[in-house]
Homo-oligomer: A and B are copies of this chain.
Amino acid sequence: MHESTNQPQEVPTQVKNPDLVERRRRQIVDAAAKLFIAQGFHKTTTRQIARAAGVSIGSLYEYVASKEDVLYLVCEFIHKEVERGVAEAMQRTTVGKEVLAEVIREYFLVCHRMSDFILLIYQETRSLPAVWRKRVLENELRITGVLVEVLAGLADGGDLPAMSSEKLEMVAHNITVLGHMWTFRRWYMARRYSIEDYIRVQTDFIIGMIARQT
């Protein structure tokens, strides 16, 4: 199978200078992310995005070809941030007995910090054209993939009960989603738990979840 048959397809721009493209797109993404979080994608107009980004509506369309392009750039940016957060957090964890608990803690704290962004992805992915929706879902997997790697490392080192790679992967998905749960049930959870309480309770559950496995 030839990779070359899939044209990798990027967001198109009319502007030649790549540094300028990067700079302006950052302005656009920053402004749009805030607006989308506050009002949602559909209630935000391209004019609001342009104004908040400090460019004219005409210029905005030199850097993207459609409003959906802006949403995709925002999703891409969020995933990069989350992945960076997770990767950094994973480095910070020491080795030894309590590693899994630390990994969970660091990941949940990333979810806590990036709550609004994660929620945005859950809510607006559907508004993307098919090609980009697919990309966003792949990015989502890549983040769970980081957890899979970490768990596999722990299992190899004997810091985790050995289990089939299938089950190990499911544990990673479960941890990912229980982190997200703090973002999309936060309106309820925050009434009775601080993020630290939440981490404590869920960590016990997750460790229990793994302990019994074969």
Interface residues of A (CB under 8 A from B): 40, 42, 122-123, 125-127, 137, 141, 166-167, 170-171, 173-174, 177-178, 181, 184-185, 187-189, 192, 201-202, 204-213
| Residues on the B chain within 8 Å of A123, using CB | 122-123, 125-126
CA distance A178 to B137 in the complex (A): 18
From B166, B170, B181, give the contact of A173 (CB < 8 A).
Answer: B181
| Copies of chain A in the complex | 2
For the A-B complex with A122-B122, A173-B189, A208-B211 known, give 20 more contacts whose Cβ atoms are closer than 8 Å. Answer: A40-B126, A42-B42, A123-B125, A123-B126, A137-B187, A141-B188, A166-B192, A167-B201, A170-B205, A171-B205, A174-B181, A177-B177, A177-B178, A204-B212, A205-B209, A205-B213, A208-B208, A208-B209, A208-B210, A211-B212
